Structure 1
């Protein structure tokens, strides 16, 4: 029976995937593989199915969209694609290590692209959304080189961009270096140290919260509670929940917190900041954002999200300057800012845009803790 690769976005509510699979079954399609990816602006479900010889791709697309799918793509698949994915990727890594000059061909094999070529490329400055067409993907190799891939009929997803970046880092580990402790110079020349939060920092973090104004705490946590709850501090300290950075001043005191907290959406993290009042407006927020973007990409993340009070103009302007898109969150007075990490733009949308399919799936661990405690991680 012919094989087809299908990608479609669905409303991510309980039972919606079952409706989609039932529609495929009604067309006598047998699902052989299923994966969940992050697309240009939502969650994409990908199927590999075998179908009867007389199946029409246009009719199959119509059936899937009638079942709740959107932006559906159906293309022929090859039986050789039905291999164990980790084994296939490890084989490609070994091939690339043996011959680094084969990088374009290896990336084409990884993403099943029709065309791959080396190009001159620059990613200097903050990462920003690109205007590439959906069937084109540029994979940075270093600050001046890249590989450009094209694939007809099947738009590249953000997850695929992250896979390509991860393959480059695995085979060419000297290309990217992720800072874990770094000195940062602010606009006035002051040098601070940024490093991961440690359990021993608890007292310093509490003292920083107490020094922050009630307004800064409200914009950060949606609450002006003067003290940080111990359960929330414990969450920030555990790497299994995500990564929290602290900024240390010249006297060793903690000046700021910045977070990458895990959520349930694949390849996505929630970000948030709290900067002590007297250190705001000096370039510290931008420096922390640059570090978080670098670390997120090295972890294979493809999107950062921040829930921000609509009145928090400073946080909005900061993330938008990095290519973030402002969207409705479904909560009064709160917007969500989505920052893509793969140089690709999502569908146009402003503050009034409807939440994407993945909005209901992602729930940060920090939010879960805060729901039973005193606050949650929000942007500042």
Structure 2
């Protein structure tokens, strides 16, 4: 038996795929996998098949045409084609998250392209597809010309390629947001946006923090409640969650976190720094990056809910060098820090309203 790939167009009507598969079955062709691509010309059926050794390309084309398949394309396949297509696409997406610069190679692998060429572009060109060619924007600038002589690209393949380009753009932005922070005592931490893989490390940091280290608001609840909210924040962010990470040969350890939750024109911020790392500049660095992000995304002001006794957090907020509004409710201080040079006509949310 030999592996082949077959692609053919059939009328997108009930029973036509069955006629094609029956024609292949009559020739002892075993269908191992099938994908259906909807196009303007009909349904494009893409098969991976195991055919008798004696069958030739011409024999397979004849079997397809007898099954009412149009524009047949047949080519020998390799064993790697047996991999489940969704699993293969997820593996490529995982590679792209880890290395956004691999976009060209990922597109070549996903599409089985004969060539992927990067070229500079004076302006950002929209994505386009025409037969055997795709043009896809490179998130880092320029664009990729993807060519596959046969078979022609389908709309579904074009959509998959665009999804990977969008993923590469997100991964590139995340990589660009990562910075190395050198503290005054010489220690180095990595500041970066948190991802789903950080949930365990964040939960472990919460368990190491004393009650006194937790500011009121977003990060001041019981560890199990915070863990549930962190899961939601990582899955459906409404702002930004930053982590301060200590890297070592044994792995990464999260020693601080800063969260910005966007509510209209306001962004609520909260910081949590592990006890041994407090008063070393970690909170200030996290707050500055959250403030810069809020300014870029159009928030008019930041609000933080701070225990009146937490002089360290109050000093950290004061280091933004922006006069802010202070409101005290018992042992709780609400500090509003404007980000624009105009009055902030918004009501500060209370900690209970935030998620």
Same fold by TM (over 0.5)? no
Query: What TM-score do the two structures reach when normalised by structure 1?
Result: 0.42
Which structure dedicates a bigger proportion of its chain to strand? 2
Instruction: Name the larger-Rg structure.
Output: 2
Query: What TM-score do the two structures reach when normalised by structure 2?
Result: 0.45
